[in-house]
Structure 1
Amino acid sequence: MKVLLADDHDLVRDALSAFIETEVDMQVTAVPDLLAACDAARQTLYDIILLDYSMPGMNGLEGLAQAIQAGDGQPVAIMSGTAPRTVAQEALNAGAAGFLPKTIGARSLINAIRFMVAGETFVPADFMTTEDVAEDHPIAKLLSRREVEVLKGLCRGQSNKEIARDLELQEVTIKLHVKTLCRKLSARNRTQAAMIGKEAGLF
């Protein structure tokens, strides 16, 4: 099964690719934008194409139609960590095979891919109602549970002192967690770490 994955965030793209390729019957081609995705789809017939909703070239759902055409009608699904339910419905109405929130767990992602390749439509019913990060999300697996909690605070714009109060920890402990999670996420600082968390759809 050939999967084409297009996402402009290196860490997200690499993590998702790694999880998909743990399946012995799946091969992944990963690209950073819509143009590269369409070029790849014209050269190779993929079983499914996964597109990040907010990556360069998408222009909302215009990129969906381009990918469907480039992929010769093969299933194309939209992925997003921020798009609302209305966008998911619009994507389906425009011909998408499914909508994958980036909070989806790794195993659920694999099941969703197989489901869509089989000709079905996939949208998780509760993707807009859950606030907690999926524990088996590829990015979450890089961090400890406590680091995920700290990252959640960073994404909310909280200071170390505020995060420490909420988690009932010492501020110096929060500083250490921030340093560690920045290293694991290859983030230069807390602001970039928060951006990575948000773009990955963790929260």
Structure 2
Amino acid sequence: MTLGRILIADDHPLINEGIQIALRVHHPGYVVDVAGSIADAEVMIQQHNDYRLLLLDYELPDSNGFNGFFKLQHLLGRVPIAIISAHDSKQILSAARAVGASGFISKRQPLDVIVAAIGTVLRGGSSFPPIDASADDAEQLRKRIESLSNAQRRVLMALAHGDLNKQIAAELGVTEATIKAHLSAIFRKLGVTNRTQAILMVRPLTGAMP
């Protein structure tokens, strides 16, 4: 009897292989699946309903910043997602906290440290590097992002990437009037008054690093 599945969404073969081997040794009760893109991960999540953890590479080709995170979060519901990345700048760490990730794991850490962090998240905890001065800003942004619905998060990310209302409506399969209603709600919840202010606020979530 298995305890469930763990999905690794990462396109780096060596990282995948190392983590898979370690998980099978330290967490033998889980089935480990691997996806090389957000699109592949979406297919796997739709095929299986027993995932207990997603390890998500921040820089998958079709991630578009944290847009891929939001797509998979919508499908997974309450299943924890831990960001795994070779880049661990304060900005990315703050953004990971803001979007509600359960952890941030640096690929540059020793494998035993990575496995320990994964174990913490599997047990319902969170695993982030030590909190620094950026944590307060991250917490404020996290609360504002958390107040948005899944649809509003996707609209916000599309907006931040420069998509027009018509394009966003086509992608989500809704009317432009619905998008305008979402934008009004987004501006209100974020405490901004226009598109430019909203884009600047969520810049750390789009992959557009300064």
Give the TM-score range, shorter chain.
0.5 to 0.7
Distance apart, 1:47 and its partner CA = 0.5
**What is the CA–CA distance in structure 2 between the aligned matches of 1:113 and 1:11, rounded to whole Å?**
18
Secondary structure in 2 aligned to 1:48?
strand
Aligned 1:178-197 pairs, distance under 5 A: none
CA RMSD after TM alignment: 1.7
For structure 1, list consecutive stretches of 5 or more residues without a partner in the other structure. 127-203
**What is the CA–CA distance in structure 2 between the aligned matches of 1:105 and 1:20, rounded to whole Å?**
14
Distance apart, 1:31 and its partner CA = 1.2
Give, as a single letter, the amino acid of the residue that structure 1 aligns with 2:64. N
Distance apart, 1:109 and its partner CA = 1.9
Aligned 1:7-26 pairs, distance under 5 A: 7-23=10-26, 24-26=28-30
Encode CA deviations 1:37-86: one digit per residue, 9 max, x unaligned: 12212222211000111112111111111111121220011111024121
Moved over 4 A (4+): none
TM-score (norm 2): 0.56
- 2:47 aligned to which of 9, 21, 43: 43
- 2:6 aligned to which of 3, 6, 11: 3
Kindly tell me the number of residue pairs found equivalent between the two proteins: 126
TM-score (norm 1): 0.57
- Asked if the contact 1:42–1:71 (Cα under 8 Å) also holds between the matched residues in 2, the reply is no
Distance apart, 1:18 and its partner CA = 1.6
- 1:107 aligned to which of 103, 107, 112: 112
Greater helix proportion: 2
Seq. identity, %: 25
For structure 2, list consecutive stretches of 5 or more residues without a partner in the other structure. 132-210
Secondary structure in 1 aligned to 2:25?
coil
Aligned equivalent of 1:116: 121
**What is the CA–CA distance in structure 2 between the aligned matches of 1:107 and 1:10, rounded to whole Å?**
18
Encode CA deviations 1:106-133: one digit per residue, 9 max, x unaligned: 222222122112222211229xxxxxxx
Secondary structure in 2 aligned to 1:78?
strand
